[in-house]
Structure 1
């Protein structure tokens, strides 16, 4: 069974790695009433990383505003709740609130805010892997000749002359196509997003578009390398003059193409890193550095990889407490070594201490955030680390905790059932292992 990519998860849970919405900020309410004070209290709690407290404050404010049928202030609180749930990785709750937000903006006739809220709703769907639904919201079902339907986020942004909304919607659509594996289609939307972001001089959105383009070209490079491996297995290794592995042989052309795509990806990541450094944006710096690591390994530039790892490890401790930080710690732990960490490969002895520290940091933060999904992945990966060091009792205990956390967000449950089976098999408990494997593959 393939191990789920945590780099993929990092991208999903930040759609800011995809398209960090500058418009996605929690809002205050001007009128100084008891209810508005609750809203402002929630904003302060949110900014301090006290997300559950912020939710409680906003839920109370929401009930008050709904009781008085105060639509404008109700929609502000609904937006804040949608964003905080997305922020802590609870996308299903976020979607439910975004549905209420879009309904309210339609009632209020505010087309610009409707378009922007549709984009954020689409991001929440994308974070759950529901890419078709996200595409429908961003551009429409058919997307014929790149013409989006009138009620889509992109069309609304264009109709209301909202460049900020359009750059976010275009970028989100490009990222969604990238996550679906439609890299050629993704490039067009991501480049359009970058162009608009540069025109309006929005650095945050430029960084997001640059990082997403880098991820897209990195994925294209991996496709080229896989095609090169297939060419070798087919015997397509001869050039026009019959020389093995000649520069004009199919396999070498594909390898060259992959290297060029990797270099393009690095250029995008470095451009994003430069902007992030200028802006003092640690989160975007970490994303660019982590995303660059697999490319440095593929190009065998181990000096650059070591420098990027060192920078990322130093910066990651400074990040704000949120779900994206949890996935960043997992991702970095898995990329501390050139050899890919998977179900069939392990952390090497040199990387174990640093990886363990990062994963424990991720576990602690996920628990603090009360994010079951992030807790599940962090605990499960830490369990795999102990499995690699053959401490099967500790590995099994952590994996079982990951399973319990996954019961509430079931998309990772099969991973930990499978890992449980593998650990039990290593302990010689064949019957229990078979039961775990059967549970993992059960519909």
Structure 2
């Protein structure tokens, strides 16, 4: 069931037809022309095969599958091969990808046995497309090209070239370009699709020209979507430079997408109705963002007219049903504000165009005619959403419940459970709404891992299509007015739900490059002197939940509401972060905001914390709270760290409770002291105290090893990690946590040359977090106790950046991580870290060792250097024991 999620996610983003259209076009030219009559040259026993073909052409794909499977044993060997190809196409149509793969593997084995290398290469392409649709992009790329840039001998591209099979080569290259797009490697996608376009024009293959133009358009649409998502984060962080950059890039990408789609449309007009329809629908998205409303409405009307005039010439199919559904949703999209996204399934417009309702009703009729439950569920579910927006909740619920029944156990069920929950909540039926939301969240939890390996463009939609389900259920739990004796149960449910969101959020951030490791012994109870503080940011208030240790290994939780809006929280936290970074501020401007946040999170519980003799506070934060160090919260007299040891974690279920052993406590340290520059002419200042920092570590922890500057290369790091088992890895170099795990990197001392210009430039090579993860995971002993990063930074206000710190720790298999939230004074860092390691060696917990180092700094330094900008950016995430 899980593998069907990828199919579902494409539909959620309403771009399914973009991809399947290309797949079917490629299949068409690989011997699967099911629309034409069977000729004597194709099969020797057409009477046995024709009934299945008739079912297929009438949209009864399951009927076709049944008939073809029923006659396989009665066919000649050659006819069996042909019908097996037909079955592959039918399996694709109904989403039975695993069956398609099984059949394709049988075809590969057959062609290999008979020495038909050209046909075997073509089957590799089809297999790759099937694996790609299941999210297995790397496997698809290996089948298409192998692991090298030049393409290995046993790959679809090379086999086609060696066989002088121009059609097979173009099909493989187009598939390669589309797969790279889905993997998020857009430069590679464009490279291969442009190569395919050149070849298609050379041979004058119109169908491949169309497919490639469509693929290039889709890639640039995805790039535009990514830029708009990054733009949202730039606005959130108040970065005007980044805001201008992503505004411009999204517009440029939209214009490129439009140029490719329009070129394809000009080529397809009057020749192929389904391609013409697909391209018109595709055009509407970049038009919506970069053209006028009238231009967008015009292209939608053209698509609608084409559908009405050529309905009979466009065969009934699931693809056609989804195209109609997408067209219906696009009609609604152009009536809502420009900021609305095509993937925002929760947004409502009061102005539902008549075309939307008409098209959705047509999609219902079509799906019923072809007996396709999945497209029928989507058509009825979307129609239910229309009535939800119109506040006709009775009709909306009726249609939604029909969609629920049709979806059955499919992953799509979560969408309709979520929708039912919203409708019931609007009707004031909170108990029934909670039940619907619970079913939806349960379904999401079961497919959480699959969300990670969906296409990167689908992952950008996480906040629109997944996150709201968890948040709305959490809100219902927290706001549920129940009797006092069951309030605790609701708090437990709320904490479990928001925990599920945080795990899903982290998996979404890491993407397909990492699967979250299973924690063998997660924290299941709180030790005697530790308290947990959870935050949940709602639209008009913040829920703060304190969990204290209780008797008999039990814990108790209590809820406090801070009545502050989401926008005010963001504004205050961003102001505080700016003030914390401003070390030259002698007025201590940070104190006002730090006191305000203290009043929200700590002051309501001061008495309970004192009575329970709490020594360590563990914060499990929501959103923007992750971007500031809790150590800096101020009660008017002293910082929070002066009273409590502090740690952060994303989820207790991802946190081990093992104590740090002081035996053989050694550090493998790498550092960069020199001025550095990375590609794109981004310069970093020298870190003058890094040598002192590493020497100090070797002094405090004998047996430690330190390598700096040109000795700090990815290759040397990999070698040291492979050959030695250090429990602590320390990297003192510039780095950045980004919005996406692929934007997160460290700067190494290895120089690489750029010979693309008249003047050769040298850049410092970047070490991506994914590559670091691979190095650490390759160690002989995977138990890494601590990863320390002392010169990295996160963007002000970007909770995605801060999420990367927790992500890196788990990705690398480290039990905890100490990292800097912003660029720090490297002298203070060197001294703080030395003190931290000294206290670790003395047997202190990780949290208390960091607290002791920071308290000593405050005691030993003058007023100016007591500013949090010097000592506070280092935070502990993960295991605090």
- TM-score, with structure 2 as normaliser: 0.45
- CA deviation vs aligned residue, 1:225-267 (integer Å, no higher than 9, x gap): 3333433333332xxxxxxxxxxx4432332222121111110
Unaligned runs of 5+ in 2: 1-8, 447-881
- CA deviation vs aligned residue, 1:138-196 (integer Å, no higher than 9, x gap): 233xx23x233333222222222211111111111211221233222211121122122
Unaligned runs of 5+ in 1: 238-248
Partner Cα separation in structure 1 for residue 385 and residue 105 of structure 2: 38
2:351 to 339, 342, 349: 349
Instruction: Give the direction of change, closer, same or farther, for the CA distance of 1:87–1:156 in structure 2 (3 Å limit).
Output: same
The structure having more radius of gyration, on CA atoms, is 2
Instruction: Give the direction of change, closer, same or farther, for the CA distance of 1:105–1:328 in structure 2 (3 Å limit).
Output: same
Partner Cα separation in structure 2 for residue 375 and residue 360 of structure 1: 10
Partner Cα separation in structure 2 for residue 394 and residue 151 of structure 1: 56
- CA deviation vs aligned residue, 1:185-225 (integer Å, no higher than 9, x gap): 21112112212211221111111110110111121122223
- CA deviation vs aligned residue, 1:373-429 (integer Å, no higher than 9, x gap): 322222221221121122222222222222222225x23122122122212212222
Greater share of strand:
2
Partner Cα separation in structure 2 for residue 386 and residue 17 of structure 1: 34
**Which structure's relative contact order is higher, taking Cα pairs within 8 Å and 6+ residues apart?**
1
- 1:334-345 aligned at under 5 Å gives the runs 334-336=329-331, 337-338=333-334, 339=336, 340=341, 342-345=344-347
3-state SS of 1:335 partner: helix
- 1:53-64 aligned at under 5 Å gives the runs 53-64=63-74
3-state SS of 1:147 partner: coil
3-state SS of 1:7 partner: coil
Partner Cα separation in structure 2 for residue 56 and residue 254 of structure 1: 51
Partner Cα separation in structure 2 for residue 255 and residue 107 of structure 1: 55
Q: Which has the larger displacement, 252-261 or 328-337?
A: 252-261
Partner Cα separation in structure 1 for residue 44 and residue 288 of structure 2: 56
Q: Which has the larger displacement, 310-319 or 224-233?
A: 224-233
- 1:11-410 aligned at under 5 Å gives the runs 11-16=18-23, 21-23=28-30, 24-26=32-34, 28=38, 30=40, 35-65=45-75, 70-140=76-146, 143-144=147-148, 146-237=149-240, 249-278=241-270, 280-317=271-308, 318=311, 319-336=314-331, 337-338=333-334, 339=336, 340=341, 342-351=344-353, 353-407=354-408, 410=410
Partner Cα separation in structure 2 for residue 72 and residue 63 of structure 1: 12
Instruction: Give the direction of change, closer, same or farther, for the CA distance of 1:126–1:361 in structure 2 (3 Å limit).
Output: farther
- CA deviation vs aligned residue, 1:255-299 (integer Å, no higher than 9, x gap): 222212111111000000011115x21111111111111211212
Partner Cα separation in structure 1 for residue 47 and residue 10 of structure 2: 47
Superposition deviation, residue 20 in structure 1: 6.3
Superposition deviation, residue 32 in structure 1: 11
Partner Cα separation in structure 1 for residue 80 and residue 366 of structure 2: 31
Question: Is the 8 Å Cα contact of residues 55 and 84 (structure 1) preserved in structure 2?
Answer: yes
Partner Cα separation in structure 2 for residue 250 and residue 51 of structure 1: 49
Question: Is the 8 Å Cα contact of residues 296 and 305 (structure 1) preserved in structure 2?
Answer: yes
Question: Is the 8 Å Cα contact of residues 424 and 430 (structure 1) preserved in structure 2?
Answer: yes
Partner Cα separation in structure 1 for residue 25 and residue 138 of structure 2: 17
Question: Is the 8 Å Cα contact of residues 121 and 157 (structure 2) preserved in structure 1?
Answer: yes
Superposition deviation, residue 325 in structure 1: 0.6
Aligned residues: 421
